[in-house]
Amino acid sequence: MKSNPPHTIIGQHLLADLAEIKAEHLRDATATTDLLDQALRRAGFQVLDRILHRFSKGGAGFSAVILLSESHASLHTYPEHGWLAFDLFSCGQQDPQAVLDELAQALEAKILKQSLIARRLCPHSK
């Protein structure tokens, strides 16, 4: 019987739901994305670029994606619910938890749930 080789971990993907955030934070795309940008840099991530999209309907939230040399981070806000979806995929040695903790503290948010997923290469990939 042939055993499968172990999957190679290439990164970690942190997903989090944050709540009880003031609506003004969740509508201010520039300021909130700046908070994330600064937290990423303090944690040692290299920011390459960022894209913002402001919505004009619903609660007038926004989505932001920050391209990192280590992968990406994103925010999706729902001001009408006081809620923010966050993810950070890192292929480097930096700590994604430090970024989440700093962001949550700056926004005075409650972290409802979070999960850290080890991203792995398939043993059959070349």
Q: Measured at the alpha carbon of residue 96, what is the angle toward residues 90 and 101, in degrees to the nearest 5?
A: 160
- How far does CA 72 lie from the centroid of its chain? 7
The pTM of this model reads: 0.87
pLDDT in tens, 43-102: 999 999 999 999 987 779 999 999 999 999 999 999 999 999 999 999 988 999 999 999
pLDDT of 125 reads 53
Q: Which of 72, 74, 81, 91 is catalytic?
A: 91
**Known catalytic residue at 76:** yes
Q: How many CB atoms lie within 10 A of CB 112?
A: 12
Q: Can you give the pLDDT at residue 92?
A: 86
Residue tagged active-site, from 13, 63, 72, 76: 76
